[in-house]
Amino acid sequence: MGVLNVTPDSFSDGGTSVNAARAVKLGLSLVEAGADILDIGGESTRPGARPVSAEEERARVIPVIEALAPRISVPISIDTYKSTVAEAAIGAGAAIINDVSGLRYDPALGAVAAGTGAPLVLMHTRGRSGDMYREASYYDVIAEVLDELRESIGFAIGAGVPRALLVVDPGVGFAKHAAHSFEVLARLHEFADLGCPVLVGPSRKSFLTRAIGAATAPTQRDWATAAAVTTAVLEGAHIVRVHAVSEMLPVVRVADEIRRYHQES
């Protein structure tokens, strides 16, 4: 899954693709580099990010989706927690809804997924961007994240979304301190118990700096991302969400090959 941020304040590439024409060009390059899914977002959800209105978010993403959808052969995912944005994005050509809130911010999003038949990604987080780290207190991070994702699955099924169309994301870096995120990656295989495909998005996130140094800029974290992506694949991830598609594609292919031999042994 290739990341396309149409925002001025993304932690990784803020402002580089907020212009629609530039975003379309980057989206095409991500697909050419090997992305299987293109994830388009119009609001940064990094810690401390400024919320934007649904109107502003739609104005950012809809022209990009409309321009890309007829030109690419891979599905577009809309990265939003707002039901009205998701509905407009699906109408414009998106095929998947990626909700960082696990249906906790806007419960109506479940009905949009059910009504459109779009697969729905349910990510784990707590709180909002401004206070998520205050919520990062766990007695057993894996057990609690699993329980809260089960609740999100329940919300989605209750809204009419078939379980077969659900994907779960444990939310590394969201309402989790670095130690929590590393533990989630190390024990990712336990998320198979949820009975849904697993998506993981470790790309360039700040938790990686615990291992490589706090002064490392996001764009300099791709080697660290490669280690996290390798671990995620070996631990059972079905989808990895990354910024540097061309660099991560061979990483995923080698990790996939290792996992295949491990499963056969």
In the set 60, 128, 204, 241, the catalytic residue is: 241
* CB 154, CB 107: distance < 8 Å: no
Q: Among this protein's residues, is 205 annotated catalytic?
A: yes
Residues 105-110: contacts with CB within 8 Å, 24+ apart? Answer: 105/81, 106/81, 106/82, 107/155, 107/159, 108/83, 109/81, 109/82, 109/83, 110/155, 110/156, 110/158, 110/159, 110/160, 110/161
Residue linked to tokens 């360039």: 204
* Token digits of residue 65: 């989706």
Annotated catalytic residue, options 126, 128, 205, 221:
205
> How far, in Å, CA of 229 to CA of 239, rounded?
10
Catalytic residues: 205, 241
